[in-house]
Structure 1
Amino acid sequence: MNPLIGITLDSEEAGGYSKSPWYALRKNYCEAVRTAGGVPILLPHHADCVDRYLALIQGLIVSGGAFDVDPALFGAAERHEAVVLKPGRTTFELALVRGALERDMPVLGICGGEQLVNVALGGSLIQHIPHAVAGGLEHEQTAPRHLPGHEVALTPGSKLAAIAGCAAIPVNSSHHQAIREVGAGCIVNAIAPDGVIEGIEMPGKRFCLGVQWHPEYNVSPADAALFRAFIEACR
């Protein structure tokens, strides 16, 4: 049986696509899961349904989106003006991630999802890279996301390095925040040339891994390999 993979949705207020509030997810998330051998299902933001969702799925993907985690959740006294909050989404995803990890369910965090996983584990975030990282790279690339924005160096001995089978990979880049301090039990598995953390994982879990880029765009063979490894861990 191909494992059922829950993917969290982004949410938007009325306007644009719909005159009513709406959920959003790019098709390539689902296509990447299906290509790797999983069956994607989408998870609306109902915190009272978390236990039921987790009883149904075999793996969890926390997607990216146009949102930031509330800095108050990692102890910041101030909020940068660039930070955009979606409290309902964050509350739901925190409960979902913590419940999944309690069950040792495989978890893959992508971009903002990686940041959310880190905060769920007690880590903190850089609220706005251009403000905090002197001479930093352009982490919100202007090129299309199917093209690389920069390379990341993979940590020797990490699960991600083993999956990729190499020391460095090209990645796309679409984020203004990044991990500052890693959560409990995590290690850094990828770093950008400017020192920005680009990936984390929990060696003590069956599969808990987050990347700052969007592997669903399949920029390099390592992206497809990451989805395959995740789906295999869900079997």
Structure 2
Amino acid sequence: MIGIPLDSEDGGGYSALPWYALRKNYCEAVARAGGTPILLPHDPSQAETYLDMIDGLLVAGGAFDVDPALFGAGEKHGTVVLKEGRTDFELAVTKGAHARKMPILGICGGQQLLAVVLGGTLIQHIPDEVDDPLAHEQPNPRTEPGHMVVVTEDTLLHRVTGTLQFPVNSAHHQAVKAVPETLTVNAIAPDGVVEGIEDPAHPFCLGVQWHPEYSISPADDAILAAFVKAASA
């Protein structure tokens, strides 16, 4: 049973009233890997109850950002968009899952949330902080590669994928800036942007900046398969 926090909107489009949503391919990728997706609404007071029901936590991405105040930034960049209710819940459920040593996979914004939970900081807007950056918000479809990533040897990500580089898609304007010594950076982009993190003291705690649910390469499928296998142990 793989819990996935939903995305949310205040209203408009699908419904004039507030609504939850999630791209189908998150659920399809989990099911293809052998898991059963369970979608989680945003109630921090129920986080421990949800954790009692699931075997692994997948924190998905979304078109919003983690509040810079949560990682000690003095100012909020003008591009930052908040979804405080979603973030409050994801903080609670991710902290709870990590304390239980439950398998965790953070995807894109989910990796950024995971990094902040574990003491890391974020780049608030890549073009303002990275020299000659790649197009991390790629202009081509998300179903196609955007750039390569280079994987650090002898990491969980390396063991899972069995390769030292592979193509990924890219849909983000923020990234992990720094992590504490307790975490490992396991992948970087050609421009030096952090693309993956993990907690080596945890059985399976992995964050990736791209979207493996799109199955761009065999490495993407291997990541989902390893995550679900860890949750089934």
The bucket for the TM-score relative to the shorter chain is over 0.9
Correspondent of 1:71 among 68, 71, 80 = 68
Q: Report the secondary structure of 1:151's partner residue.
A: strand
Provide the rounded CA distance (Å) in 1 between the counterparts of 2:25 and 2:177. 29
Correspondent of 1:180 among 177, 180, 203 = 177
In the other structure, the counterpart of 2:49 is: 52
1:117 positional shift: 0.4
Q: Report the secondary structure of 2:157's partner residue.
A: helix
Correspondent of 1:38 among 35, 46, 53 = 35
Provide the rounded CA distance (Å) in 2 between the counterparts of 1:16 and 1:184. 44
Whichever residue aligns with residue 228 of structure 1, its letter is A
Q: What does 1:174-213 align with in structure 2 at a 5 Å threshold?
A: 174-183=171-180, 185-213=182-210
In the other structure, the counterpart of 1:152 is: 149
Q: Does structure 2 retain, via aligned residues, the 8 Å contact 1:100–1:106?
A: yes
Q: Does structure 2 retain, via aligned residues, the 8 Å contact 1:122–1:184?
A: no
Unaligned ranges ≥5, structure 2: none
**TM-score normalised over the length of structure 1:** 0.97
Work out the percentage of aligned pairs sharing the same amino acid. 62
In the other structure, the counterpart of 2:229 is: 232
**TM-score normalised over the length of structure 2:** 0.98
Whichever residue aligns with residue 162 of structure 1, its letter is R
1:182 positional shift: 1.3
Q: CA RMSD in A?
A: 0.7
Structure 1 runs (4+) greater than 3 angstroms displaced: none
- Are the structure 2 counterparts of residues 184 and 19 from structure 1 closer, same or farther at C-alpha, using a change threshold of 3 Å? farther
Provide the rounded CA distance (Å) in 2 between the counterparts of 1:167 and 1:61. 24
Q: Does structure 2 retain, via aligned residues, the 8 Å contact 1:121–1:184?
A: no
Q: Does structure 2 retain, via aligned residues, the 8 Å contact 1:178–1:212?
A: yes
Q: Does structure 2 retain, via aligned residues, the 8 Å contact 1:130–1:136?
A: yes
Q: Report the secondary structure of 1:20's partner residue.
A: coil
Provide the rounded CA distance (Å) in 1 between the counterparts of 2:100 and 2:20. 27
Provide the rounded CA distance (Å) in 2 between the counterparts of 1:52 and 1:42. 13
Provide the rounded CA distance (Å) in 1 between the counterparts of 2:136 and 2:63. 15
Q: Does structure 2 retain, via aligned residues, the 8 Å contact 1:9–1:23?
A: yes
1:56 positional shift: 0.4
Whichever residue aligns with residue 103 of structure 1, its letter is R
Q: Report the secondary structure of 1:134's partner residue.
A: coil
Whichever residue aligns with residue 39 of structure 2, its letter is L
Provide the rounded CA distance (Å) in 1 between the counterparts of 2:107 and 2:41. 17
- Are the structure 2 counterparts of residues 184 and 14 from structure 1 closer, same or farther at C-alpha, using a change threshold of 3 Å? farther
In the other structure, the counterpart of 2:166 is: 169
Instruction: Please say if 1:19 is aligned against 2:16.
Output: yes
Instruction: Please say if 1:133 is aligned against 2:130.
Output: yes
